[in-house]
């Protein structure tokens, strides 16, 4: 149907294609297209060991199952089939992120080429450490849209503390490469900082770092503690109070920083979480049960082991696996549709969500808020389309009236032509009649003259004889 609409230049074709996921949400039962955003974990392998990382933290005990998962990465053939399916389903954005460092994948550049050749908007979550000038130039040429760069520090000393396997040279390399990127291109990049006990006092250096490398944005978030592993990274109440005071100072600078070209993302949310009376679990529980969860229509995460999960935290709730079924088969499966409907309708305390544990932590709240915003925009667009329809109907009626008037004028013109034709025929007839009369009377007059002349001639002859 959409192909037919495109061929006929249907005026709202683009709008329909860009919002197929929203039409599914409004139907509450059907799925018309693919996810608007697909988050792909290319690999679980990583060149760093960030202290708060849920996979690679040196403070986390790694059992055999976790060690096996660390070595997982998506096969290039699987990636090609996945990207083909996402293209057919109308996915707009791809985010390369996950448990490892995307740039470490041995087919990284080839995968980027395929993604961009299909016209996807691409963001890469990366620590940026493995990139050099040559690779950055290549990524610029391929048309990368955005980077999210995990830094967690603003100074070399703190960088080494938050990334135990690195040294200060790593920090300066990262700093220089980001400065090179901003100098060579206009690609936007966000500096992402996870704030913990080991780096919270470095927050002003983080701002200065972002300004130096000419980042387009900077973001702060509170560390997510790994039970029985990273409790020592939790901020104490006095540390949170100090940080909140500093954030209020930063808030006063926001407009000046924005004039420089640096936005601070979600500072209000970060400050809210620093307040002494803030309970992150209770707040999350309130939000996930208040904000409609439509993530099953708008988002999908593909993990490095091939599992397709419906939201960021659904590690233990795979809908299917790409090594067994295609993404399209998984996306339109009964199991996925069941998740969509239950996520939209049920409280997150329902046993159905036990393996996801939505009420403890949800990384897709922002996605669901974006969807609400998109639904509002679509509602306005539908109203606009209705208004357009009324205008089109009025124009059609006016066109009909004009056509009727033209028809009447045509009929009048035809009548005039008939009258003219009749008059022309009458004129021809009269001309012919005049000619006939003229010719006929002229002959009779000529004959009389001839007879008179003849008589005169005879008389003259007689006179001569006499």
Q: What is the DSSP string of 84-123?
A: HHHHHHT--EEEEESSS-GGGSTTHHHHHHHHHHTT-EEE
pLDDT at 61: 75
Higher pLDDT among residues 428 and 394, named by residue: 428
10 pLDDT above the threshold of 50: no
Do residues 428 and 345 both lie within one domain? Answer: no
Q: What percent of the chain has pLDDT over 90?
A: 67
Do residues 258 and 325 both lie within one domain? Answer: yes
Do residues 376 and 444 both lie within one domain? Answer: no
Average pLDDT over the chain, rounded to whole? 88
Total count of domains within the chain? 2
What backbone phi and psi angles, to 5 degrees, belong to 95?
Answer: -120, 120
Higher pLDDT among residues 18 and 348, named by residue: 348
Q: Which of 184-198, 223-237, 386-400 has the lowest mean pLDDT?
A: 386-400
Q: Which of 345, 380, 415 is the last residue of a domain?
A: 380
Beta strands 320-321 and 307-309, pairing class = antiparallel
Q: What angle do CA 122, 127, 130 make, to 5 degrees?
A: 95
Q: Which of 7-11, 20-24, 116-120, 418-422 has the lowest mean pLDDT?
A: 7-11
Do residues 171 and 275 both lie within one domain? Answer: yes
Q: Evaluate whether residue 60 is within a structural domain.
A: yes
* Cα 73 to Cα 13, 63, 102, 213, distances in angstroms: 37, 19, 10, 31
CATH of the domain at 306: 3.20.20.70
Do residues 280 and 230 both lie within one domain? Answer: yes
Q: How far apart are CA 343 and CA 180, in angstroms?
A: 44
pLDDT at 286: 93
Q: Are 98 and 39 in contact (CB under 8 A)?
A: yes
Tell me what the mean pLDDT of segment 118-130 comes to. Answer: 98
Higher pLDDT among residues 331 and 442, named by residue: 331
Residue 347 CA, chain-centre distance (Å), reads: 29
Q: Evaluate whether residue 106 is within a structural domain.
A: yes
Tell me what the mean pLDDT of segment 229-245 comes to. Answer: 96
Do residues 193 and 81 both lie within one domain? Answer: yes
Do residues 188 and 150 both lie within one domain? Answer: yes
417 pLDDT above the threshold of 50: yes
Question: CB neighbours (10 Å) of residue 243?
Answer: 20
Beta bridge partners of 39: 95, 301
Q: Evaluate whether residue 443 is within a structural domain.
A: yes
pLDDT at 5: 42
Q: Evaluate whether residue 26 is within a structural domain.
A: no
Q: Evaluate whether residue 20 is within a structural domain.
A: no
Do residues 113 and 152 both lie within one domain? Answer: yes
Tell me what the mean pLDDT of segment 309-315 comes to. Answer: 96
Do residues 314 and 447 both lie within one domain? Answer: no
pLDDT category at 14 given cuts 50, 70, 90 is low
Do residues 427 and 367 both lie within one domain? Answer: no
* Cα 85 to Cα 80, 145, 444, distances in angstroms: 9, 21, 103
Tell me what the mean pLDDT of segment 434-438 comes to. Answer: 70
Q: Which of 380, 401, 418 is the last residue of a domain?
A: 380
Do residues 364 and 396 both lie within one domain? Answer: no
pLDDT at 8: 46
To the nearest 10 degrees (0 to 180), the angle between helices 267-274 and 237-252 is 150
Higher pLDDT among residues 46 and 383, named by residue: 46
Q: Evaluate whether residue 450 is within a structural domain.
A: yes
Q: Which of 347, 380, 413 is the last residue of a domain?
A: 380
242 pLDDT above the threshold of 60: yes
Domain interval for residue 306: 33-380
Do residues 319 and 227 both lie within one domain? Answer: yes
Q: Evaluate whether residue 271 is within a structural domain.
A: yes
How does pLDDT run across 171-200, given as a tens digit for each residue?
999 999 999 999 999 999 999 999 999 999
> Nearest CA to 145 among 101, 81, 188?
188
Q: Are 345 and 15 in contact (CB under 8 A)?
A: no
Q: Are 193 and 206 in contact (CB under 8 A)?
A: yes
How does pLDDT run across 64-83, given as a tens digit for each residue?
778 888 999 999 999 999 99
């Amino acid at each position: 149907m959409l192909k037919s609409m495109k061929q006929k230049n249907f005026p709202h074709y683009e709008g329909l294609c860009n919002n197929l996921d929203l039409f599914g949400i409004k139907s509450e039962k059907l799925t018309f297209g693919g996810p608007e955003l697909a988050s792909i974990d290319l690999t679980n392998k990583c060149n760093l060991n960030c202290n708060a990382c849920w996979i690679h933290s040196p403070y986390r005990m790694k059992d055999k199952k976790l060690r096996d998962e660390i070595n997982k990465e998506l096969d290039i053939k699987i990636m090609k089939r996945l990207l083909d399916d996402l293209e057919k389903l109308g996915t707009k954005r791809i985010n390369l992120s996950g448990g490892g460092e995307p740039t470490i994948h041995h087919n990284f550049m080839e995968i980027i080429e395929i993604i961009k050749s299909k016209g996807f908007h691409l963001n890469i979550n990366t620590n940026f450490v493995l990139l050099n000038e040559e690779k950055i130039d290549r990524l610029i040429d391929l048309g990368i849209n955005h980077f999210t760069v995990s830094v967690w520090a603003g100074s070399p000393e703190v960088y080494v503390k938050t990334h135990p396997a690195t040294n200060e040279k790593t920090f300066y390399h990262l700093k220089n490469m980001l400065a090179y990127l901003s100098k060579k291109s206009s690609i936007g990049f966000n500096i992402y900082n996870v704030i913990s006990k080991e780096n919270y006092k470095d927050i002003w250096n983080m701002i200065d770092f972002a300004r130096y490398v000419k980042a387009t944005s900077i973001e702060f978030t509170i560390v997510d503690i790994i039970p029985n592993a990273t409790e020592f990274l939790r901020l104490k109440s006095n540390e949170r109070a100090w940080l909140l005071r500093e954030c209020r100072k930063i808030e006063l600078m926001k407009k000046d920083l924005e004039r420089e070209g640096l936005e601070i993302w979600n500072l209000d949310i970060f400050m809210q979480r620093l307040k002494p009376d803030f309970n992150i679990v209770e707040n999350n529980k309130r939000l996930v049960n208040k904000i409609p969860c439509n993530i099953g229509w708008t988002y999908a995460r593909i993990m490095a082991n091939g599992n397709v999960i419906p939201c960021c935290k659904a590690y233990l709730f795979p809908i299917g696996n790409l090594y067994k079924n295609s993404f399209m088969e998984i996306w339109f499966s009964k199991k996925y549709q069941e998740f969509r409907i239950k996520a939209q309708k049920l409280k997150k305390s329902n046993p159905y969500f036990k393996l996801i544990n939505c009420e403890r932590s949800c990384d897709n709240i922002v996605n669901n808020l974006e969807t609400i915003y998109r639904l509002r925009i679509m509602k306005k667009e539908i109203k606009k389309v209705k208004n357009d329809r009324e205008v089109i109907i009025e124009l059609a009626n006016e066109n009909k009236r004009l056509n009727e008037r033209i028809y009447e004028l045509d009929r009048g013109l035809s009548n005039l032509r008939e009258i003219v034709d009749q008059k022309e025929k009458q004129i021809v007839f009269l001309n012919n009649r005049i000619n006939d009369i003229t010719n006929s009377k002229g002959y009779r007059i000529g004959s009389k003259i001839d007879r008179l002349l003849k008589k005169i001639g005879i008389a003259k002859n007689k006179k001569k004889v006499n």
